[in-house]
Structure 1
Amino acid sequence: MLSLYSSAPTRFSLLLLQEGEEYVHEFVAECAWPPQIPGNWQGRPVLAGHLRLATRSMFFDPDDLRVPIVRLPFEGVEGLEAVGSARSGDFLVQSRHAVRMRPGAADVPYAHDRSRPALAWRFCLAFAAMHDFMPQAQVLLAACRLPPADREAALAALLAARGAGPGFDPGNLRGSLAAERVVAQRAAWLATPLARERVALALTPARLYAQPRHGLQGRSVRSARLADVAALARRRAGLRDVGLEVFFAAGTGGGGGTGPDTWGAPSAFLVFGNREEREEWL
């Protein structure tokens, strides 16, 4: 049975992001839920949960799974500012648009709440310092106010400036460090028809690994034996020649099974930062 409270909410997934939107970071936080927005079924003045920052919006994911996740698109945000003392961790988001998602972890149509004037959402960061959140949130907000072409360029530059994140953890190797060593690694994306996830790719003489940067999809590290790779094919991703599809032989450990030695799909669609990075992996 699904618990009604969770210290590590699991109903959030990359599928809640818009097409082309990328997940950035998460923070433990509290939210003063506006009374004009339905969903706070107990009328609590403050709700505990996770604040999730993405390139086009921010999400509040309550620990009480009966309360919906709320998405605040940056296009509807009129103001974003810290309040109180520098150490308080409090900030206000003035938003004209809120999207309620997955109340009770149910897959139901999203509910859109639009308001004029904008409603105030007050948040308090539980552990992170304000400078860990506010500068990048304000840069993302400013980028989303640009014309579409300039917006995408600004977001791409911001993500590039953040870097690839942590590299592959050797502790995730299936064999011992003496028997299996990483010979190449690269930051990339693992793409599916509905979402894409930033990963750290690693190659050993025996296996291919993909380690998620955020681990939101309910699965840790994927791996497949190189002996199970049946074919490689260059692909286009977002009109750019930067994709690589890895096909696994049917009935092998790399295929679509769910056991500990499987990738979990019949193929893997990898997206690289540029064509040169892709060619290095062929």
Structure 2
Amino acid sequence: MYGARAARVRRFSLLLLDEEEEYVQDWVVTAAWPVDRVAGNWQRAPLVGGRVRLCTRSLFFEPDDVRIPIVRIPLAAVKSLTSGPPVAAVAAQSGANITSQSPSSASPSSPVPSSPLFHGAVQRSSTAATSSASSNGPSMLLEAREVVLMRANMEEVPYTFLRAPTPATAAGGSVGSGSSSSGSSGKDHSSEPPEYRWAFGPCYSPLQPLLTQAAVLLEINRRPREQRSAAL
């Protein structure tokens, strides 16, 4: 029952957007969560179902499970954004045991949009079938220097800011206070990759619309402030 309720509740609000930021579009996706680097995924499930919500200055990932925090990735902090392998392959590359967090967010076995009949059948699919179905289509692969975690368990608490360790912080330890951090306390960051790596695979639509719009907004957010403000 809790799982059904978790899938219905939506925590995202336009109040989470920055000032002058606008909402663009959303997609149902399966995400490869970097469980070894980003906390909050309480089951440490490498695949998590939810929605990607693309905005003019950031990309949000809202997991179906309300116990897992919403992820905000500022586009200004994104180092790379490309078409990548299936989300299951990305999770496997991280050494994770591939299991699916949400059967309701399975991807069809083909990267093309599913039929309405299959869409309804997804709700009754098993975890094993979900893992298999979500492993085939290409994903949007991005690497970001900053991740913001918010509204886990529907709680209005201070956001958690995760920033990838720079060579200086990797050598001397994380610097910061409050809700900001460079990772787990006491952890050696010297061997970590410099960015947080995420993959998002659309479940019921082709990858290209998401990838194209995200790439355009990423390019705009890399411009000087005056040009960026004019374009957005």
Length, aligned pairs only = 155
Equivalent position of 1:42 in the other structure: 43
1:254 corresponds to which residue? none
Equivalent runs, 1:1-282 vs 2, <5 Å = 5-35=5-35, 36-84=37-85, 87=111, 88-116=137-165, 117-155=194-232
Q: Any conservation in 2 of the 1:34–1:119 contact (CA below 8 Å)?
A: yes
Amino acid at match of 1:115: A
Provide structure 1 residue ranges, at least 5 long, that are not aligned to the other structure.
156-282
**% identity of equivalent residues:** 41
CA distance in 2, matches of 1:4, 1:76: 34
Listed one character per residue, the Cα deviations across residues 196-255 of structure 1 (whole Å, up to 9, x for unaligned) are: xxxxxxxxxxxxxxxxxxxxxxxxxxxxxxxxxxxxxxxxxxxxxxxxxxxxxxxxxxxx
Residue 41 of structure 1, CA deviation:
0.5
Per-residue deviation at 1:84? 3.1
Cα deviation, 1:108-146, whole Å, max 9, x if unaligned, reads 000000013112111111111112111111000000011
Residues of 1 paired with 2:209 and 2:140: CA distance? 13
The CA deviation at 1:14 is 0.3
Query: What TM-score results when the alignment is normalised by the length of structure 1?
Result: 0.52
* Matching residue's letter, 2:212: P
More helix by share: 2
Structure 2: tracts of 5 or more residues without a match: 87-109, 112-136, 166-193
Runs of 4+ in structure 1 displaced over 6 angstroms?
1-4
Preserved contact between residue 5 and residue 63 of structure 1 (Cα < 8 Å): no
2:51–2:63: 8 Å Cα contact kept in structure 1? yes
Deviations 1:24-45 (A, max 9, x none): 0000001111121110101111
Separation in 2, partners of 1:13, 1:27: 16
| Partner SS, residue 164 of structure 2 | strand
Q: Any conservation in 1 of the 2:7–2:65 contact (CA below 8 Å)? A: no
Q: Distance in 1 between matches of 2:22 and 2:77?
A: 18
In structure 2, distance between residues paired with 1:4 and 1:148: 43
TM-aligned CA distance change 1:108 to 1:3, over 3 Å: farther
Q: 1:82: how far off? A: 0.6
Structure with bigger strand share is: 1
2:177 maps to: none
TM norm structure 2: 0.63
Query: 2:183 corresponds to which residue?
Result: none
1:8 and 1:119, CA in 2 relative to 1: closer, same or farther beyond 3 A? Answer: same
